[in-house]
Structure 1
């Protein structure tokens, strides 16, 4: 008979939630328990997901996995933006990105093959909005000091609200959430019924006994939350040693996320006034609408992206639990790309356990008889 804790997901950040979402789409929700120290709605320095900007962009890697995950993530997020934008807090948003130094030409070409480039219908009010078409900007349209730029239709996500949306959807599909800090990876097998664990522990993968992956490290970011109702477009400037970005936050009454910093190996959760000042100066130069008297600085936050040398780890493993070998799937190390890559990563993680999941699906059918 199928059990609620047959599948355990450790971690309730966007990576763990996306794994549960993919499994629930396959009808396995009633067999899933998510165990985590922090849940959607919480805030903590090492609970990275609520602090994200967050948007779809070209900031991710250029390796084959990153390209694949981006494409799958874009399709998933635009589907949510069509079917349930208000509920999921995902919206299509025009975007412009600039590069001052290295230009990822192959990545830009790959993106151009699947990005939307047509007039889109707003599914909420029925009106039409002209979104930005995918276009490589000519040299005479580039700001001073910029080597390349593109415009396209991206998506923006209200990170904390989106996680709460996913939790609600998962609970409705039968997923159980348990707040608990596990002492080690083995403890993820929470009962004799647990047959499969997904390790989606993010930064904790560095220190959690049973994992202790020394390739994992924090990448600190500081951002500013501001109210800027005149800003309707994503703007990003990729520099040699910095990232500057302006990301509207859906469903927030005109709030935007301004950033930022990519400080590798820094685990400091404090915020600093000089960094806030730098962010405000850089973003105001990038989009002069921020210089409007209507712009109001609300708060500054810092978060630790769960980065990993060599990229994300999605790998099947075995672990000994009370003398028995049990299957385990690792899925962590997305860095700052968890929202755009997470769905594609989840598909790969689930695929790695396909044989176990087929057996669990049979059990679930038998339980209904």
Structure 2
């Protein structure tokens, strides 16, 4: 293949995989590099993608690039559901409840109403609001069964001819020397191209803070702690905003598991669950949504009746301001190689993934023109 059509993608979370797929579909020869492949070895705090809910509830600023990417991604997911009955994504009603009628989270309601105007948005009647809550609203969302969706993306990547390598990088440049100085383990009988790539796409999430030729000081972690609960009877996705400022949410998966969260701890990197946090998550959800329990056990609302499959911790890869979608240039042994940066989506990676990949491919085409 023409060397001008060879691209390295670094990072194999949902952003890296989705971007790699779009690059393959655009005719590029794509080589994917990562330390952790969530689709293969999921249980790592370094791979927040696996622990995600994940649903689609916009938290972008109105008129922003992120909002545009979220809208495009929602449409892609809805099309996938129509085209492939086996895709591990499903539509579900989403409900958003607030404990007080003057809750600060109401400031987002106008945006949510506009964003989901064509997706069944409406304010709930008082008779529809759950006991203990003051107000509510609803719209249609999508819920992604992440442990199935990431392998689905990986299979698409391989089917399109993508090549994957496991590696631990200290810099992007270590992939671009001839031969590369990075240690590489091929995952699918992959072999490197004979010449350096035309460009590199950087989807390294929190890794962008430590790569020596990136060192993005705007990147920071947001710790999320959730439970995976077995409750196949649960249908809706629900978010609860409490007067205390705490937030609880449930996100069903096709498998019958339900994500129950959660926390939003900026700068916290503690790698394992905390007993007091687990207890608080359980207590809140059983109090406001006893339907998470088996029918015969709901009346007593005992947290011991929750069928907890797993306690999970992940680090959302956030970035001050917004995700980084721009191009820079690396000089490697006198050769200038464009780098498209696509990272820093925080907790919005899934819900902006396809739109973000499209924007990254636009930047790639511009850089190689």
- Shorter-chain TM band: 0.7 to 0.9
What's 2:58 paired with?
58
Q: Go from structure 1 to structure 2 and tell me whether the alpha carbon gap of 1:83 and 1:295 turns closer, same or farther (over 3 Å shift).
A: farther
Q: Go from structure 1 to structure 2 and tell me whether the alpha carbon gap of 1:286 and 1:190 turns closer, same or farther (over 3 Å shift).
A: farther
What's 2:90 paired with?
91
* Deviation readout 1:275-322 (Å, 9 max, x if unpaired): 111111222233221132474111101010001111111011111111
What's 1:81 paired with?
81
Q: Go from structure 1 to structure 2 and tell me whether the alpha carbon gap of 1:260 and 1:93 turns closer, same or farther (over 3 Å shift).
A: same
What's 1:32 paired with?
30
- 2:111 counterpart of 1:107: yes
Matches for 1:1-369 after TM superposition, within 5 Å? 1-2=1-2, 6-28=6-28, 31-39=29-37, 40-42=39-41, 43-62=43-62, 64-86=64-86, 88-99=87-98, 100-103=103-106, 104-115=108-119, 133-139=120-126, 141-143=128-130, 148-189=135-176, 192-239=195-242, 241-250=245-254, 252=255, 254-292=256-294, 293=297, 295-356=306-367
User: The residue matched to 1:337 in structure 2 has which SS?
Assistant: helix
CA distance in 2, matches of 1:268, 1:84: 39
CA distance in 1, matches of 2:21, 2:265: 31
Tell me the TM-score normalised to structure 1 length: 0.85
Q: Go from structure 1 to structure 2 and tell me whether the alpha carbon gap of 1:211 and 1:238 turns closer, same or farther (over 3 Å shift).
A: farther
Q: Go from structure 1 to structure 2 and tell me whether the alpha carbon gap of 1:110 and 1:321 turns closer, same or farther (over 3 Å shift).
A: farther
Shift of 1:233: 1.0
User: The residue matched to 1:70 in structure 2 has which SS?
Assistant: helix
User: The residue matched to 1:7 in structure 2 has which SS?
Assistant: strand
CA distance in 1, matches of 2:222, 2:286: 24
CA distance in 2, matches of 1:270, 1:4: 44
Q: Is the 8 A contact 2:177 2:332 kept in 1?
A: no
CA distance in 2, matches of 1:134, 1:105: 10
Q: Is the 8 A contact 1:195 1:327 kept in 2?
A: yes
Q: Is the 8 A contact 1:67 1:107 kept in 2?
A: no
CA distance in 2, matches of 1:23, 1:5: 10
- Out of 255-264 and 51-60, give the one that drifted further: 51-60
* Deviation readout 1:134-155 (Å, 9 max, x if unpaired): 3222455435675642212211
CA distance in 1, matches of 2:351, 2:35: 24
CA distance in 1, matches of 2:175, 2:17: 16
* Deviation readout 1:183-205 (Å, 9 max, x if unpaired): 20212326533111000000111
Q: Is the 8 A contact 2:177 2:333 kept in 1?
A: no
* Deviation readout 1:46-100 (Å, 9 max, x if unpaired): 11110101111134444512221111110011111222242x3111112111244
CA distance in 1, matches of 2:118, 2:343: 26
Q: Is the 8 A contact 2:96 2:138 kept in 1?
A: yes
Q: Go from structure 1 to structure 2 and tell me whether the alpha carbon gap of 1:340 and 1:90 turns closer, same or farther (over 3 Å shift).
A: same
- Out of 185-194 and 221-230, give the one that drifted further: 185-194
Q: Go from structure 1 to structure 2 and tell me whether the alpha carbon gap of 1:272 and 1:61 turns closer, same or farther (over 3 Å shift).
A: farther
Tell me the TM-score normalised to structure 2 length: 0.85
User: The residue matched to 1:300 in structure 2 has which SS?
Assistant: strand
- Uncovered stretches (5+) of structure 1, i.e. residues with no partner: 116-132, 360-369
* Deviation readout 1:146-171 (Å, 9 max, x if unpaired): 56422122111111221111010111
Q: Go from structure 1 to structure 2 and tell me whether the alpha carbon gap of 1:356 and 1:212 turns closer, same or farther (over 3 Å shift).
A: closer
User: The residue matched to 2:287 in structure 1 has which SS?
Assistant: helix
- Uncovered stretches (5+) of structure 2, i.e. residues with no partner: 179-194, 298-304
Shift of 1:108: 1.5
CA distance in 1, matches of 2:63, 2:167: 35
- The CA RMSD measured in Å over matched residues stands at 2.1
* Deviation readout 1:317-353 (Å, 9 max, x if unpaired): 1111112221111111000010001111111111112
